[in-house]
Amino acid sequence: MKLIRVKDYDDMSRKVANIISAQVILKPNSVLGLATGTTPIGAYKQLIDWYHKGDVDFAEVSTYNLDEYRGLTGDDPQSYRYFMNTQFFDHVDIDKANTHVPDGSNPDIEEACSSYDKMVKDAGYVDLQLLGIGRNGHIGFNEPADAFSKGTQCVDLTESTIEANSRLFDDPEDVPRQAYTMGVQTIMNARMIVVAATGEDKAQAVHDMVFGAVTPQCPASILQLHTNCVVVADDAALSLCPGQ
Please tell me the CATH code under which domain 9-193 is placed: 3.40.50.1360
Set 100, 127, 136, 234: catalytic member:
136
Please confirm, yes or no, whether 143 is among the known catalytic residues: yes
| pTM to 2 decimal places | 0.93
DSSP-derived secondary structure letter, 158: P
Residue 177 CA, chain-centre distance (Å), reads: 19
Can you tell me the distance from the alpha carbon of 207 to that of 47, in angstroms, rounded to the nearest whole number? 29
Set 67, 117, 127, 208: catalytic member:
67
Please confirm, yes or no, whether 65 is among the known catalytic residues: no
DSSP-derived secondary structure letter, 142: B
Cβ distance 54 to 20 under 8 Å? no
Strands (E), 37-103: 62-65, 67-69, 99-100
Set 138, 165, 208, 234: catalytic member:
138
- Per-residue model confidence as pLDDT tens for the chain (244 residues): 999 999 999 999 999 999 999 999 999 999 999 999 999 999 999 999 999 999 999 999 999 999 999 999 999 998 999 999 999 999 999 999 999 999 999 999 999 999 999 999 999 999 999 999 999 999 999 999 999 999 999 998 888 778 877 777 777 777 888 999 999 999 999 999 999 999 999 999 999 999 999 999 999 999 999 999 999 999 999 999 987 5
Set 68, 117, 127, 143: catalytic member:
143
Please confirm, yes or no, whether 136 is among the known catalytic residues: yes
Can you tell me the distance from the alpha carbon of 123 to that of 212, in angstroms, rounded to the nearest whole number? 33
